[in-house]
Structure 1
Amino acid sequence: MEKKRFTCYGSTMSSQPVRALCFIADPCESQALFSLLPFTALYPPRIFRYHTPQLTLDLCLLHAWGSSAVHHAIQDYPQALTSYDLWLNLGFAGACSPAIPLSTCYLIEHLGKLHPHDQSLSEAPQLIFTPKATALQTTSLVTADAPYILGFHKTFQLVDMEGYAIATLAHSQGLPLSIIKITSDYTLPRRKTFVQEHSAALASVLAKTLLSSLPEILESATIPRKQDRLLDSTPD
């Protein structure tokens, strides 16, 4: 397949080039992007770059799940904190309700942190985004310390393992952030096999959604702000 040269014509990007860093936890989530865009290795195996006159898009592959993987990546690549106009986080997320369709991409506008020992939210403040309107649906996300397989939940929508750590860093650094998640599976036991069987198709949908909406996604990035009021954390 011939790789594209993507041109970004958003109003924010028309005056000067934009430098964006995209965090992706698992290499399987990024495979489709590598097949669609001509990335070059900047600091392999972690940092890869796609460049046009309008946009520099760097990928930061965490090669692991969880907040510790985010912090290790920042230690390895401290330029992440100072060399970019905005951040992105792209990846898979579990759906906490059977009413949420799979293989669907969402832009995150609310983010909370799960307590490590139960199904409730921790005392960490909720993070709020105020993205501009895009073609993507918006929803809320909670971040867990381990794969969440405790079943459906009355109020949670999506769950991941890295979003809160990335958003907390973006807040502290004053960096705009957009988080885009695709519903990869339901938060049920024995989910791992399902994700493995469908990871290539999910990564393809995620990559194509990013590229088709990239100007909007970049322009919708906002600095996460903290809010003490927590999401309802009552399990179903």
Structure 2
Amino acid sequence: MIDLHLIGIGTGNPDHLTRQAGAAMNAADLILLPRKGTARSDLIDVRRMLCAVALTRPVRIVEFDLPVRDAQRDYLSGVAEWHAAVAAAWAAQIARHLPGGGRLALLVWGDPSLYDSTLRIAERLRGDGMAMRIHVVPGITSLQALTAAHATPLNELGAPVVITTGRRLRDGWPGGADRVAVMLDGDCTFATLPPAGVRIWWGAYLGMPNQALASGPLADVAASIVERRAALRREHGWIMDTYLLSRAA
């Protein structure tokens, strides 16, 4: 039996680790750290740093190469194939390093429940016959870090908020809410929206030392955010950002 602990680690700031997260890491028999290529080497560096900060006893840590999603494929079929490849990579590491079962920990950016595929991949392994119990340790999400950094609430008083992706935002403003939180937008879709009456709160590398923030009327700041985002990506080789939009009711 594998006891899989999916541990939300926030946005990379050691102060985002909860006491529950630290306890789960120290109770593990094995922590798997995925490598995503040299362009994102500092992502695994952050995970290494969090292990160094949180672990108070020797825990085996194994790094492995994470399969890359084929961006040329249809989105949903490409993601399904990618999930299958990641599940196979996990299974290979488990068979090699925990052949008799035990406690396995994976460190998940933000929280495993919000726009993250780790839970789906774990369920795929269980569906393939692996004896596994799944435990989730919640973490601080990028949306929480964003609203905290800008000192702004996620929703208007008594009003709903929609959480969506850049891919979905391309179809236009979602119905049902005047505030929209957007994740996974590598194309700066906000710059394609009609800007009248819209305000944006944007943040990259939230909670990290290189955190970058911008806010204001979309018409005034959209172009500068696009330019700044591109420059940051060139500088660091990767970028993680998110933003909140609000329009006049």
TM-score category (smaller protein)? 0.3 to 0.5
- TM-score (norm. length: structure 2): 0.33
More helix by share: 2
Question: Which protein shows a greater Rg?
Answer: 2
- TM-score scaled by structure 1? 0.34
